[in-house]
Chains A and B, each alone.
Chain A
Amino acid sequence: MSTIKIRAKAGDKVTKVSALIEHPMETGMRKNKKTGKKIPAHFIQEVVCELNGTVVLTALWGPAVSKRPFLQFKIEGAKKGDTIKLSWVDNKGEKDSAEAKIA
């Protein structure tokens, strides 16, 4: 099961792309209340969005982006049926990607 949900809706001129990623986004500053030990940092560092294989948006993130990160942007020149691909990599080297057709 993918960690990524993408929705892309074509308007008259602009396509709005929304994505929700399932990720804990741990800052590395939080402590486990029972053990008092710090929970190690675990956060997405880079998100790349491609439209039909061309990179259109690169998001560089620090640990202060919320848990279950949300991202929305608008793109011109995309049309219904085009493919939007989103991939992420976190500070542990874990990664995932997903594709969606523009509706």
Chain B
Amino acid sequence: MINMKRRTFLKGSVAAGAVSVAVGAGLLTPRAVLAAWPSDAFKATSVDAALDALAGTHAMQASDKVQIDAPDLGENSAVVPVKVTSQLADIESISIIVDKNASPLTASFILGPGVQGFVNTRIKMGKTSNVIAVVKAGGKLYSAQKEVKITIGGCGG
């Protein structure tokens, strides 16, 4: 009996050793990283469903401590600059949502130690839509939004 346990123990440690070697060699890294990507949230077709999948709730409150900076007119719908700034304390994440895109959730930034409430990026938009900045702070969602007009084939195109 004692002997059998010893066998099991040895087998277990050999297997664990192999896994750590694989991780060390970088073989398992992509899968380990990808596991965190919230596929349901990015595939969701409505703002509420995307937020439910991402943050566990879609109850958000408009806040003047969240600012979104985007152009009134997106001259190139494939490259719309979006900047989000927030003065809220204890920010966990900043997400950018385009409500008329096929999949509204565009990007979500998880802020670590020392990072200020600020992100700046560029996004694609299918058509004229509200761009919503959702800041998660203290477990609650705060938002600000701005309409960006897209003129397909218009003067800007």
Contacts and interface: CB of A to CB of B under 8 A. Distances in A.
A78 interface: yes
Contacts of A1: none
B33 to A, nearest CB: 5
A66 B80 CA distance: 8
Interface residues of B, number: 36
B122 interface: yes
A64 B121 contact: no
B107 A62 contact: yes
A69 B34 contact: no
A62 B105 CA distance: 7
B79 interface: yes
B101 interface: yes
Interface string A25-39: 101010000000000
B114 A69 contact: no
B79 A93 contact: no
A95 B112 CA distance: 22
Contact of B114 (A59, A72, A75): A75
Contacts of B123: 64-66
Contacts of A48: 33
Contact of A72 (B29, B112, B120): B120
Interface of A: 14, 25, 27, 29, 45-46, 48, 51, 54-67, 69-78, 89, 93, 95
